[in-house]
């Protein structure tokens, strides 16, 4: 496990505050969601890594061979590496809670880490995830809060796959909320409000 296995930004928070991890979308970087994450939980430690895969110059967290066609071997590599990165930062920060959000490709790597390390996060926000396979969740997500946000006309993330992910997570005990808007792959204000509500609720549970 290494805190520096990814290029990343770290915003230190108060002692015994939550740790918030932010995962950018394809073509973004460690700055894309940094400010948003900091606003979500004032005083929290924020860590935002940059994807280590380049797709024609666009940073991603794992390789793909086409839209929605994932290199599953590379996804397994990336999941293991990212889980180690998160664990290293949790060990260093000793946070009160571990929260995470990701958009698009960032939501996909976050979801994959969640499947592999079911007890690592207290709450996650998956914004426009695309999981084109049936996830194998190791452990139980009982007591874990998951928010999925999506567009009903998203050409990249079909609504039926969003609904399947919702059902799969509920089957393994997650407390799932699903927030829709009528548009496509863009992030809209109701999604942002939903993430804020999720993290505010979870931090009050402490």
Active centre residues (catalytic) = 104, 154, 185
> Rounded to whole angstroms, how far apart are CA atoms 120 and 163?
23
Q: What is the 3-state secondary structure (H, E, C) of the chain?
A: CCCCCCCEEEECCCCCCCEEEEECCCCCCCCCCHHHHHHHCCCCEEEEECCCEEECCEEECCCEEECCEECHHHHHHHHHHHHHHHHHHHHHHCCCCEEEEEECHHHHHHHHHHHHCCCCCCEEEEECCCCCCCCCCCCCCCCCEEEEEEECCCCCCCHHHHHHHHHHHHHCCCEEEEEEECCCCCCCHHHHHHHHHHHHHHHHCC
Q: Characterize 131-156 residue by residue with b for buried, 16 or more Cβ atoms within 10 angstroms of its Cβ, and e for exposed.
A: beeebebeeebeebbbbbbbbeebee
Tokens of 151: 């567009």
């Amino acid at each position: 496990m290494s805190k520096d296995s990814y290029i990343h930004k770290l915003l230190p928070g108060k002692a015994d505050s939550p740790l918030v991890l932010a995962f950018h979308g394809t073509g973004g970087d460690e700055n894309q969601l940094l400010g948003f994450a900091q606003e979500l939980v004032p005083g929290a430690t924020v860590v935002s890594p940059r994807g280590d895969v380049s797709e024609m110059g666009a940073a991603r967290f794992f390789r793909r061979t086409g839209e929605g066609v994932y290199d599953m071997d590379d996804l397994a590599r990336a999941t293991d590496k990212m889980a180690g990165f998160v664990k290293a930062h949790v060990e260093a920060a000793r946070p009160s809670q571990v929260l995470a959000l990701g958009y698009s490709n960032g939501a996909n790597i976050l979801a994959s880490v969640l499947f592999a390390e079911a007890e690592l996060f207290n709450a996650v926000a998956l914004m426009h995830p695309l999981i084109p396979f049936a996830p194998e969740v190791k452990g139980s997500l009982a007591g874990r809060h998951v928010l999925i946000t999506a567009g009903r006309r998203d050409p990249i993330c079909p609504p039926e796959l969003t609904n399947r992910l919702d059902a799969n997570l509920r089957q393994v005990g997650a407390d799932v909320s699903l927030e829709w808007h009528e548009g496509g792959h863009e992030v809209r204000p109701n999604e942002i409000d939903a993430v804020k509500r999720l993290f505010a609720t979870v931090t009050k549970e402490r």
